[in-house]
Amino acid sequence: MTKQNVAEPESLGEAMNRTELFFEKNGRKLTYVFLGLLVLAALVYGYRALIVAPRAEKAAEMIAEAQSRFEAENPDFELALQGDANGAGFLDVIEQYGSTPSGNLARHYAGICYLRTGDLENAAACLAKYSPVKGLPGALVNAQNYGLQGDVAVERQDYAKAVDFYRKAVKAADNNLTAPMYLRKAGLAAQAQGDAAAAAGFYQQILDTYPASMEAREAEKLLGSAK
């Protein structure tokens, strides 16, 4: 019977020696890699501290100027959108700081301004470029954005797309204030599309899930008209 050669298991000491030998042969390379990672980390930190943060701060200042006009007692949506020598508009924020959180929010506001001035094409384009954000305040803006895209679709008489956007708005912020409002809009869009069954389902959802909402009383009447 032939005796097989079986390798002896490597001892802990031998393994440690092999590791030390590896570092002796490759120490300079590893040092360069380590220093490179440190430099990269420093560059990332410096980029955030010296470039990202100041840009975000400047963008926040600019969007505040546009928002003051947007939220005025008698809002000037065209001025809020375009800006002038006395203050930036939402389009300025998008052009200069589009990659910042304020730039993202400016797309949402610009879409509203276009919608209020009757420019449905640019309204749809700006609203669609807004990226949903996390957190409770963000959820409300996300819902409003989807809802406004639904409103644009209704203006274009694309009721199927409007229903889809209103569904997304409900999902984005499931609360007693905004969700029933968008369910109501979804029901109306479904009725306009001729889908009475879908409309009744939306109205019934208001009654079942949000009975204390302002839309619940009207939902009872709408439910009767959908049947």
The CATH number of the domain where 183 resides is what? Answer: 1.25.40.10
* One-letter amino acid of 217: R
Same domain, 121 and 173: no
* One-letter amino acid of 112: I
Same domain, 64 and 124: yes
SS3 at position 170: helix
31 vs 26: CA distance, rounded Å = 9
Final residue before a domain boundary, out of 81, 96, 131 = 131
Same domain, 127 and 68: yes
Residue 162 lies in a domain: yes
pLDDT in tens, 170-196: 999 999 989 999 999 999 999 999 999
Indicate the number of domains in the chain.
Answer: 2
- pLDDT at residue number 99: 86
Q: Are 126 and 110 in contact (CB under 8 A)?
A: yes
- pLDDT at residue number 57: 78
The residues with which 87 forms a beta bridge, in sequence order, are 84
Residue 63 lies in a domain: yes
34 vs 29: CA distance, rounded Å = 9
Same domain, 120 and 184: no
Q: Which of 208, 196, 160, 203 is nearest to 181 (CA)?
A: 203
pTM for the structure as a whole: 0.75
Residue 135: pLDDT band by 50, 70, 90 thresholds? confident
The residues with which 212 forms a beta bridge, in sequence order, are none
32-41, 196-205, 215-224: least confidently modelled range = 32-41
139 vs 145: CA distance, rounded Å = 10
Q: What angle do CA 172, 135, 113 make, to 5 degrees?
A: 65
pLDDT in tens, 32-88: 444 454 444 444 444 344 445 666 778 788 888 889 999 888 999 999 999 998 889
Phi–psi pair at 145, nearest 5 degrees: -60, -50
Dihedral sign for Cα atoms in the order 124, 191, 203, 171: negative
Instruction: Classify residue 28 as exposed, middle or buried by CB count within 10 Å of its CB (0-12, 13-18, 19+).
Output: exposed
134-166: b (≥16 Cβ within 10 Å) or e: eeeeebebbbbbbbbbbbbbbeeebbebbbbbb
| Average model confidence (pLDDT) across the chain | 81
Residue 25 lies in a domain: no
Domain that holds residue 192: 158-227
Same domain, 109 and 165: no
Residue 28 lies in a domain: no
Same domain, 221 and 186: yes
Same domain, 125 and 182: no
